[in-house]
Amino acid sequence: MEKIKVGILNVSGYAGVELARLLVCHPGVQLVSVTGRSTAGKKLAEVFPHLAGLTELVIESELSDVDFAFAAMPHKESAPEVIKLIERGTKVVDISADFRLSNPADYDEWYGFTHPSPELLDKAVYGLPELYRKDIAGADLVANPGCYPTGAILAMAPAVKYGIAEDDIIIDSKSGLSGAGRTLTIGTHYAEANEDTTAYALKGHRHMPEIAQELSFLGEEVVNVTFVPHLVPMTRGILSTCYARLRDEFVTKEDMQAEITALYKDFYKNEPFVKVVDAPPHSKNTWGSNICHVYPFIDSRTGRLIVVSSIDNLIKGASGQAIQNMNIMSGFAEVTGLDSPPIYP
């Protein structure tokens, strides 16, 4: 099979360089073009020495002609570039938030800009393969999910889909500092972040409407989401703990734990990257992989469903999932280039 020519817009961020690392070893593609603003003109392996010997690419200011593009740009900046690529007939996976929300007004409220192409929002497919695989296969534009939404939605999707839990969900997520990106801020200085944990965006995180949108699409009612993210002093990984009250008809069942575990395992039985596990996962259980671990638990004392999920925010939460989407869109086996197991320790 002839390899498809692939490019990356903004290779110099964490998601962009993870894409490069994974794509240079992908058997079905040839990484031919990468862009970056401050790093243009330099060799990719010079800027990122861990890629030495794997690529001779030079970072460009403009993307050359490619069959498939990944946009790893910040929100608001990504949409104009993606629009140009789609107009050229190039298939795109956008890692930014610019095509994830179906309501254009949400971009004014949550991201502070007016979306430049509301009509393209209707054509973009939300890129969570476990829910939208068939739609992704025929798409020209896929909106890669956010890192927090990936872990949270995969944790709660079976419960919402089958109406086990009430429509008021609390999500508590802990993320490594790489989720904040490479741009330095006071909160990501080593001396500030080390030995410190903090909750942030309590008035509303931008990923909250994305989580609520997708969970509401799954069920029969609009889902009310309370989402509180935290930064913890680790490099990568997201651990999400989700809480929802069981519906009354399920509270009194004798062996609800076995039933919910079986339901989750059946829901994800054919999913190569979601594993329903038998003990609460650690963030390091999925480190370096495209895998999501999910652990559902019934608190019989309070009548609550508790679901814990773990992902690597830079892989299943960003670049790995983007390649998973590319594989589906391009007719490759879904696990191609992504079948490495997690790293331990």
Residues annotated as catalytic are: 147
Check if the beta carbon of residue 156 is closer than 8 Å to that of residue 214: no
End-to-end CA distance of the chain: 37
- Positive or negative, the Cα torsion across 133, 73, 99, 107? positive
For 103, phi then psi, to 5°, come to -95, 115
> Which residues are 120's β-sheet partners?
none
**Cα 247 from Cα 221, distance rounded (Å):** 13
Q: Which two tokens stand for residue 177?
A: 């500092």
Edge-first strand listing for the sheet containing 274-276? 198-199, 224-231, 165-175, 238-246, 304-311, 292-299, 274-276
**Cα 271 from Cα 128, distance rounded (Å):** 12
User: How many other C-beta atoms are found inside a 10 Å radius of the C-beta of residue 52?
Assistant: 11
**Cα 302 from Cα 336, distance rounded (Å):** 43
